[in-house]
Amino acid sequence: HDPGGFALCRQLIGALLMAALGYCREGSSIFALRRSDHRAIAKLGVFHYLNSVLFIWGFKLSTPFFASVAQLSIPVMTFVYTALAGLEVPTCLRTTGVCLIVLGCLLTALGSAHHEHAPAAGAAAGAAGSGSPPVPASLWVGVGCLALQTGSFSGLLVLQKALVQAYPVALVVAWGYSAGAVLALIGSVFDGSIHTLPANFNSPTAVYIILYSATAGAVVYYELVTFATKHLPSSFVACSVALEPLVVSLMGILFFHTPVRLLELCGYAVAMLGVAAMASVVIQEGDDAAHAPNDSRTTSPSDREDDG
């Protein structure tokens, strides 16, 4: 199916479900959005749209393995951005935790991947001049899409951190994802993918895939991520995305009886050390906040800009 049409179906259904869930949880207060925060919600919608459509295109044009490994850059991007912006202190323990998680997940991904499933870009990089076929141009386009997608997701995490301090989680998720759905609808008109909508429902399997992607892959996922962002540092939440290779590898071992490789076991151990380091940071910051003077004033993102 067309990636743009699939992304549109996923975002429209997901936005309707999120709006309904938000209204059930918050009532009419879900519309209580300050005019000064409209710009932040619009930016959040852009990040949602780019994260969705670029991942689907990157997945289609590269390989599933590469698309999964590319997500390992999200914790690093988020960590660097929050450090440069002064939102989080880049302590030695925090830096070590992020690096260990990324390294452990990378080792697990490499250990669980068969040679025939390795990304073509990696194979071709060392085969220059060896008579191997050139890397398809579409692969590099896919790599570029994934690079932009990971940057978009990092921006999403950082931006919504400020919003969930001023608004309920359900409101932020509903408004942000709905804004992304509007952009997806506009984009589908320009690229013509809106005409492929019926083709995405031409079989029961296709319908199940879209519904699963819109519910578990969008509603449940973003509700959990946004809730975690409200209570945890953005860099720690970003590390949860990097754990995908570990989960995939573990599911293969448990349900498909794939052999366990030493590299995978090393990856598990290294990643868990990173998680322990990041958890220590969160606990320490929680203790520091508990003993810090309490400022009950809640500020919106626009208030922070004005204060700056």
> pLDDT tens digits for 223-269?
999 999 999 889 889 888 777 777 777 777 777 777 778 887 888 88
Lowest-pLDDT choice from 172-176, 179-183, 204-208, 283-287: 283-287
- Measured CA to CA, the distance from residue 284 to residue 278 in angstroms comes to 10
pLDDT in the model for residue 168 = 93
- Measured CA to CA, the distance from residue 38 to residue 31 in angstroms comes to 12
pLDDT in the model for residue 191 = 83
- Measured CA to CA, the distance from residue 19 to residue 181 in angstroms comes to 12
Q: Is the pTM of this model over 0.85?
A: no
- Buried b / exposed e over 116-141, threshold 16 CB at 10 Å, is eeebbbeebeeeeeeeeeebeeebee
- Measured CA to CA, the distance from residue 63 to residue 119 in angstroms comes to 6
Average pLDDT over residues 282-302: 65
> pLDDT tens digits for 53-101?
899 888 888 877 778 778 888 998 999 999 998 888 899 999 999 999 8
Average pLDDT over residues 141-145: 89
Q: How far is CA 193 from CA 183, 202, 208, 214, in A?
A: 13, 15, 20, 18
Structure tokens at 295: 């400022």
Contact assessment for residue 303 and residue 37, using Cβ atoms and an 8 Å cutoff: no
pLDDT in the model for residue 268 = 84
- What is the crossing angle of helices 234-242 and 262-291, to 10°? 160
Q: What is the DSSP string of the chain?
A: --HHHHHHHHHHHHHHHHHHHHHHHHGGGGG---GGGHHHHHHHHHHHHHHHHHHHHHHHHS-HHHHHHHTTHHHHHHHHHHHHTTSS---HHHHHHHHHHHHHHHHHHHHHS-GGGS-HHHHHHTTTTTTPPPPPHHHHHHHHHHHHHHHHHHHHHHHHHHHTTTS-HHHHHHHHHHHHHHHHHHHHHHHSGGGGTGGGGSSHHHHHHHHHHHIIIIIIHHHHHHHHHHHS-HHHHHHHHHTHHHHHHHHHHHHS-PPP-HHHHHHHHHHHHHHHHHHHHHHHHHHHHHHSPP------HHHHHHH-
What is the rounded average pLDDT for all residues in the chain?
82
- Buried b / exposed e over 48-64, threshold 16 CB at 10 Å, is bbbbbbbbbbbbbbbbe
User: How far is CA 80 from its chain centroid?
Assistant: 16
Lowest-pLDDT choice from 9-18, 46-55, 196-205, 222-231: 196-205
Closest CA to 221 of 11, 9, 36, 42: 11
pLDDT in the model for residue 121 = 41
Closest CA to 105 of 150, 59, 68, 158: 68
